[in-house]
Amino acid sequence: MTNEVTVITGASSGIGAALARQLGSKGQQLVLAARRENELREVAKQAGTRALVVPTDVTRRGDVENLRSQALKEYGHVDVWVNNAGRGITKSVLDLTDRDVDEITAVVLKSVLYGMQAIIPHFQERGRGHLINISSFLGRVPLVSHRSIYSAAKSGVNVLTANARMDLKAKFPGIHISLVLPGIVETDFHKVAKTPQIPRAGSKLGFIIVQSAEEVADQIATLIEHPVAELYTNPALVGLVSQYCQDVGKFEENLVRRTGSS
């Protein structure tokens, strides 16, 4: 077993659970957080390593602070913190209620802020650490209009991540801050968000190939070994970003022509 300690939020299913299994197979020590304790315990068993389970609702600042405290109490330090918990919603801009906006903002954006504010002071004390925020390609290129508020909240995650990285870079060169931008991944995300068509790994949806949670987890594990500022888990997405930035109007026009809507 290594001395490396990684905290993962949203570890009870999907990408977070796959990452726990992947890091566990490398002998890393884990702290697993989400609301569903039984599922977390099952993932901890599958990870086959020392793993602390901390039931956590990431929309509550106190829960996230407790997660940090439990991790430090158990292991004495944290090397990597992955803000992965999140959920989507299928609603166009004109249909959004105040409640939709508050709920999605809390679980997607505020949770990430809570995680950053909880762990970065510990990294500053140690002079090292790696914070990883799981965003979405939709936070960079909002090409699926029924993901509206979800994509908007993920855009906010992108900004907080970039700004914190800039703030820390000069004084704390040993602290890495990374953003991960997955495309479409086969997980429970799509059931929870009530996606009309559940994507299957390996199939093509619109522009891109659907990935498996394991594939994305492998890439995050590599990111932990070789930190970079941003990781697009599907290389095809990088080309789309430059097309989008070159001419937003033309990009949207082509998309609507191709699909009838996004």
Ligand X SMILES: NC(=O)c1ccc[n+]([C@@H]2O[C@H](COP(=O)([O-])OP(=O)(O)OC[C@H]3O[C@@H](n4cnc5c(N)ncnc54)[C@H](OP(=O)(O)O)[C@@H]3O)[C@@H](O)[C@H]2O)c1
Interface residues with ligand X (CB under 6 A)? 9-16, 34-36, 39, 56-59, 84-87, 107, 134, 136, 182, 184-185, 187-189, 192, 213
The size of the chain, in residues, is 262
* 182 to 124, 171, 224, 235: CA distances (angstroms): 28, 30, 16, 10
What is the C-alpha separation between 211 and 193, in angstroms, rounded? 17
Least spacing, CB of residue 7 vs ligand X, in Å:
12
Query: What is the number of the residue whose Cβ is closest to ligand X?
Result: 14
Q: 101 φ, ψ to 5°?
A: -65, -45
Least spacing, CB of residue 126 vs ligand X, in Å:
25
Nearer to ligand X, 125 or 146 (CB): 146
What is the C-alpha separation between 150 and 173, in angstroms, rounded? 32
Nearer to ligand X, 196 or 249 (CB): 196
Nearer to ligand X, 120 or 138 (CB): 138
Outline where DSSP puts E strands in the chain. 5-9, 29-34, 51-55, 80-83, 129-134, 175-181, 185-186, 204-205, 208-209, 211-212, 230-232
Least spacing, CB of residue 209 vs ligand X, in Å:
12
What is the C-alpha separation between 234 and 216, in angstroms, rounded? 9
For residues 168 and 175, the answer to whether their CB atoms sit within 8 Å is yes
For residues 45 and 68, the answer to whether their CB atoms sit within 8 Å is no
Nearer to ligand X, 6 or 84 (CB): 84
From 75, 114, 150, 232, the catalytic residue: 150
Rounded CA Rg of the chain: 18
Residue position matching structure tokens 């790994």: 201
Least spacing, CB of residue 174 vs ligand X, in Å:
26
Active site residue 150: yes
Nearer to ligand X, 39 or 230 (CB): 39
Least spacing, CB of residue 249 vs ligand X, in Å:
25
As annotated, the active-site residues are: 150
